[in-house]
């Protein structure tokens, strides 16, 4: 029997506070799987009208799938979170776009009719599992000159992007980074970030047990003078510094997706509707430009232009990557549509988890901005890719 596509909605999303990776970081003695379990449990707690047995799938991403991020983490996290044993799960890896891919893949399953309700998200404990841990790149990448050696170092790809866009200077990247810190500080002061956060138990040898209730990475007092003094670790006299790039972080995210009719049947309130998504490949040496073709394809397929987009949540892996996107679409560096509450330069970027953080913030913004109909979540991806998702505000005032 022919099937018709169903509307897919984002019902709710949560995340742990993000921590700094390393022996002194917030989650130095916390397991990665426990982080994502905490997020899933909170998601279910916040949506009590959802019978746990109605969850049809759990898709959880991790870039480094080993140790406490291995064992098919979607399934193991589902069991640990107390979901019925009948609920299956799987693991996803698309590097930084892992959680984004968990959403688009499971969302496509909902649209097709294979699922009614899914949990999707991601986790990365970069303190326990540094990016590239255990990786054995095939020597043909370099021997056959398939990629430049810089393609395997994300910071070097950001320096390459500065070369491609010489008008994006270090000063311009630093200015963007300062604004990100300022926007996050303002959003925290206004209570915009906190509703997404799941208080998470932590412990350390020095302080014993505690509770993480806020992101660890932000540096609200950052100035241009501060950033001007930082070293450029990826190139002598380069442009990329720890101040205009996201740090190394730990954290987890989870969200609830459903068919729109099922959501309403279960008493769940949709926050936004999944319209379309696109992934695109680019030269690995300039992976940061990936969001450009991914977004171009998406807009063209939906007969839209950037003028139709009222909000843009773009992952700030590096300031230059965001600025290259803005440059291409002729968007001002300080356009009010872009990351209104700041981004990963301040909040952190625990790789595979970040795609759902973008969605969480867009959903919250949609609730406040009923005048905005469409928004994007977009990000660059290691090894030369980009991903973009188009969302519609279910509370858009024009629909009433």
Query: Active-site residue numbers?
Result: 96, 349, 380
Among 1, 71, 81, residue whose Cα is nearest residue 35: 81
Is residue 248 within 8 A of residue 133, CB to CB? The reply is no
Q: And the tokens for 318?
A: 């590096």
Rounded CA gap, 198 and 185, in Å? 19
Rounded CA gap, 180 and 318, in Å? 11
Rounded CA gap, 173 and 320, in Å? 6
Rounded CA gap, 88 and 83, in Å? 9
Angle subtended at Cα 204 by Cα 201 and Cα 208, rounded to the nearest 5 degrees: 75
First vs last C-alpha separation in the chain: 34
CB-hemisphere CA count at 13 Å for 129? Answer: 23
Q: And the tokens for 256?
A: 């609830």
State the helix-helix crossing angle for 73-80 and 32-46, rounded to 10 degrees: 60
Task: Find the length of the chain.
Answer: 400
Rounded CA gap, 154 and 95, in Å? 12
> From the CA atom positions of the chain, what is the Rg in Å?
20
Residue 354 Cα to chain centre, angstroms: 2
- DSSP letters, 37-80, are HHHHHHHHHH-TTS-GGG--EEEEE-SS-SGGG-STHHHHHHHH
Residues linked to residue 200 through DSSP beta bridges, in sequence order: 212
Task: Catalogue the E-assigned strands of 138-207.
Answer: 200-204
């Amino acid at each position: 029997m022919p099937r018709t596509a169903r509307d897919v909605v984002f019902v709710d999303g949560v995340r742990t506070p993000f921590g700094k990776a390393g022996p002194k970081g917030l989650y130095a003695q916390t397991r990665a799987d426990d982080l994502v379990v905490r997020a899933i449990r909170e998601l279910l707690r916040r949506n009590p009208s959802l019978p746990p047995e109605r969850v049809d799938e759990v898709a959880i991403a991790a870039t480094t799938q080993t140790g406490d991020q291995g064992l098919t983490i979607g399934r193991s996290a589902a069991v640990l979170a107390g979901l019925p044993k009948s609920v299956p799960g799987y693991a996803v890896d698309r590097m930084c776009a892992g959680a984004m891919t968990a959403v688009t893949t499971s969302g496509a399953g909902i649209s097709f009719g294979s699922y009614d309700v899914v949990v999707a998200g991601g986790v990365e404990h970069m303190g326990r599992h540094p990016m590239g841990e255990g990786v054995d790149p095939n020597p043909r990448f370099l021997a056959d000159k398939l990629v430049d050696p810089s393609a395997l170092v994300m910071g070097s790809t950001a320096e390459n992007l500065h070369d491609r866009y010489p008008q994006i200077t270090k000063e311009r990247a630093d200015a963007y980074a300062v604004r990100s810190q300022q926007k996050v500080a303002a959003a925290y002061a206004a209570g915009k970030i906190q509703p997404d956060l799941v208080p998470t138990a932590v412990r350390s040898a020095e302080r014993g047990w505690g509770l993480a209730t806020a992101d660890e990475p932000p540096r609200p007092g950052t100035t241009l003078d501060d950033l001007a003094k930082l070293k450029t670790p990826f190139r002598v006299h380069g442009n990329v510094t720890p101040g205009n790039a996201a740090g190394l972080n730990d954290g987890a995210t989870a969200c609830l997706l459903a068919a729109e009719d099922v959501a309403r049947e279960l008493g769940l309130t949709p926050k936004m509707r999944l319209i379309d998504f696109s992934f695109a490949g680019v030269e690995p040496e300039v992976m940061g430009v990936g969001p450009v073709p991914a977004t171009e394809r998406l807009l063209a397929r939906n007969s839209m232009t950037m003028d139709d987009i009222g909000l843009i949540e773009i992952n700030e892996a590096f300031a230059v990557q965001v600025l290259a996107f803005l440059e291409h679409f002729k968007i001002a560096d300080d356009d009010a549509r872009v990351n209104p509450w700041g981004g990963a330069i301040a909040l952190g970027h625990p790789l595979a988890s970040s795609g759902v953080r973008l969605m969480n913030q867009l959903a919250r913004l949609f609730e406040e901005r009923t005048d905005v109909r469409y928004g994007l979540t977009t990000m660059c991806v290691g090894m030369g890719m980009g991903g973009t998702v188009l969302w519609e505000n279910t509370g858009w005032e024009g629909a009433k």
